[in-house]
Structure 1
Amino acid sequence: MDDRQPLPGRRGLLSKVPGRLPIYSIGIYTGPSPLALASPATGLANPVLTRESVTDHYASFIADPFMIRAGGSWHMFFEALNWEGSRRKGEIAHAVSADAFHWSYQGVVLAEPFHLSYPYVFEWQSERYMIPESSEAGAVRLYRAQRFPDRWTFVKDLLVGPVHLDSSIFHRDGRWWLLTNTDEERGTLHLFHATELLGPWVEHPRSPVVRSDLALGRPAGRVISVGDRLLRFAQDCRQAYGASVAAVEITRLTPTEYEERPLAERPVLAGTGQGWNRVGMHHLDAHQLEDGSWIACVDGWLDRFRRPRELAAWAADHARRLMSS
Structure 2
Amino acid sequence: MSNFDIELVSVSKSYASVAAVKDINLEIPKGEFVSILGPSGCGKTTTLNMIAGFSAPSAGDIRIRGKSQIRVPPERRNIGLVFQNYALFPHMTVAENVGFGLRMKRLPREEIERSVRAALRSVHLEGFEGRYPKELSGGQQQRVALARAIAPRPSVLLLDEPLSNLDLKLREAMRIELKEIQEQLGMTFVYVTHDQEEAMAMSDRIVVMWQGEIAQQGEPSAIYRDPSSRFVADFIGRSNILPVAATVQTSNFLELAIDGGPVLRRSGPGPRAAPIRYCSVRPESIVLIDPSVPHPEEVNRLQAIVLRVVNLGGNVELLVDLDGGLCLSVLVRSSRSTMLPAVGDEVALGIDPEDVHVLSD
Q: Shorter-chain TM-score: which interval? A: under 0.3
Q: TM-score, normalised by structure 2?
A: 0.23
More helix by share: 2
More strand by share: 1
Compare CA radii of gyration and give the structure with the larger one: 2
